[in-house]
Structure 1
Amino acid sequence: MFTKLPKWVEYGAFTLSLIAGFVNAIGLLGFEHQAISHLSGSVTQIGVSVIESPMTSVFLVSLVGSFVLGSTISGMLISGESLKLGRHYDLVLLLEGILLVISTGLLYEHIGWGLCLASMACGLQNALVTTYSGAVIRTTHLTGIFTDLGLMLSSKIQGNEVNKRKFVMFSVIIGGFLSGGIFGYLAFQRLNVSALAIPGAFCLILSCVYRIYRQKNKN
């Protein structure tokens, strides 16, 4: 499980959750408080608006569908559940970066398309690292993580041993997401929705760094 995860995973989890927190902050600040990196609120809004505002529901369904499409594409590119350094995560990061950069350009005139591309980028990222030996990792939302932390606390109160690596991983992801929200807010104050290009550029840089690292360590 978590004890089998390679040592570099925490760094990747922090970076990816920071990107997701950054993207989500821009969505919440700039587009009628619309979350991008997770779907719970969007699905609830579909139910709320389906009677009074059908067109809003259509848009929200498109947003959810874009996230699922991104996850599908990620799964096809990586083709495997195991977390392994040699896999082509750089392609997924490259595509995520491109989608976020294009999204930034669309948001001023075609908000719907821009948000859908941003949602697709988050779907790509969330499927980037999903399962390794039964250890579930999510970097674009925190509900499951806080639930697991509550269960770990319950176990500790009952005198059971807690998986320290799992606790560290969850803490790293929460810290990354929170940091992304802070940086997203600061960037939005200066650049408005153009700030979305920052996590896009970061994904492109991360893709190049990972590709170089993979090439050096493929043997």
Structure 2
Amino acid sequence: MLRKHSSSRTLKDNLQLGSLTAFSAGMVNVTSLIIFFAFTSNVTGHYAILAEEIAKGNWNQVLMVFFWLFMFFYGNFLANFLVISSSRSNYIAHALPLILETICLSSVGFYGLYYYQETLFETEILIAIMLLAMGLQNGLTASISNSAVKTTHMTGLTTDLAILVSMFTKKKFRENRELRNKAKLLSTIAVSYISGGVIAGLIYFAMGFKVFFMVSLFLIFIILYDYIKFRFNLLLRKRRLQGYGGSKRLKIKEMWLERIKI
């Protein structure tokens, strides 16, 4: 899910990556909406707010919204930079953005749980940290999937899915395997995003800011999934090779004994 890159990825890899990261993105976005009355998994609305504040001449707010946009931009930049700068291990390079995202979200949860006084400045900074986290996630998924997986905003996804559904009214497009796979991926991401949002809302009403720790644990699961799967497959392969080597040595020994008898 994390080890493979670009064209080497299969539909299964993208489905796993898309569903799991979309689930976490939905959790973050709904939680930020409930607590801070702001969306953090996308920046479309922030661009509109930036234009509005410029028109009003509220320059302090202009600077803050621009800072939010920059944090999301920087998250995407940093994620892709880590991916393309790796020369040793794809897994480590692809896991690093998620590790940084986990640190960001855990920090928001910790601060909100023990120090948050609900001031405007605190809220603005916490929103910025969450936008950085979502930028990291979006940049990672888009980079390693050749832009096939984008899980932090639904505008483009809904547009693409609607276009595909329209195309499927024609038989020739319904028989196109690539288009069917794309529709399956987009539908899975959408359902996962909504599911994550619903579950995050229920958790928040029961646990408050601890919901960010739950999201962080979920991201840690995504990070460790590939590592555990890789180690497990490596162990199975090693046992197969040992079994093959042992049977081969036994066969050679039997042939040698037969020769001695002769």
TM class, shorter-length: 0.7 to 0.9
String of CA shifts for 1:29-61, please: whole Å, max 9, x gaps: 111x20000000111111122325432332221
- C-alpha distance in 1, partners of 2:146/2:218? 29
- C-alpha distance in 1, partners of 2:205/2:190? 23
The runs of at least 4 aligned residues of structure 1 exceeding 4 Å deviation read 1-4, 84-87, 131-135, 214-219
- C-alpha distance in 1, partners of 2:67/2:147? 30
2:59 is equivalent to residue 43 of structure 1: no
Contact 1:90 1:210 in 2 (8 A): no
String of CA shifts for 1:1-29, please: whole Å, max 9, x gaps: 99962423212211100000000001111
Q: Give unmatched runs, 5+ long, in structure 2.
A: 1-5, 238-262
Q: Which moved more, 1:143-152 or 1:170-179?
A: 143-152
TM-score by length of 2: 0.73
Please name the residue that 1:157 is paired with.
169
Q: Identity, % of aligned pairs?
A: 21
2:110 is equivalent to residue 89 of structure 1: no
2:201 is equivalent to residue 185 of structure 1: yes
Q: Give unmatched runs, 5+ long, in structure 1.
A: none
Shift of 1:145: 1.1
Please name the residue that 2:130 is paired with.
118
Shift of 1:217: 5.6
Please name the residue that 2:104 is paired with.
99
Change (3 A) 1:135 1:113: closer
- C-alpha distance in 2, partners of 1:130/1:87? 17
The one-letter amino acid of 1:102's match is S
- C-alpha distance in 2, partners of 1:116/1:93? 17
| Rg comparison, structure with higher value | 2
String of CA shifts for 1:117-148, please: whole Å, max 9, x gaps: 11111001001121568652201111111111
2:195 is equivalent to residue 195 of structure 1: no
Contact 2:83 2:144 in 1 (8 A): no
Contact 1:101 1:201 in 2 (8 A): no
Contact 1:86 1:214 in 2 (8 A): no
Change (3 A) 1:197 1:38: same
Contact 2:20 2:222 in 1 (8 A): no
Q: Which moved more, 1:170-179 or 1:104-113?
A: 104-113
Change (3 A) 1:122 1:12: same
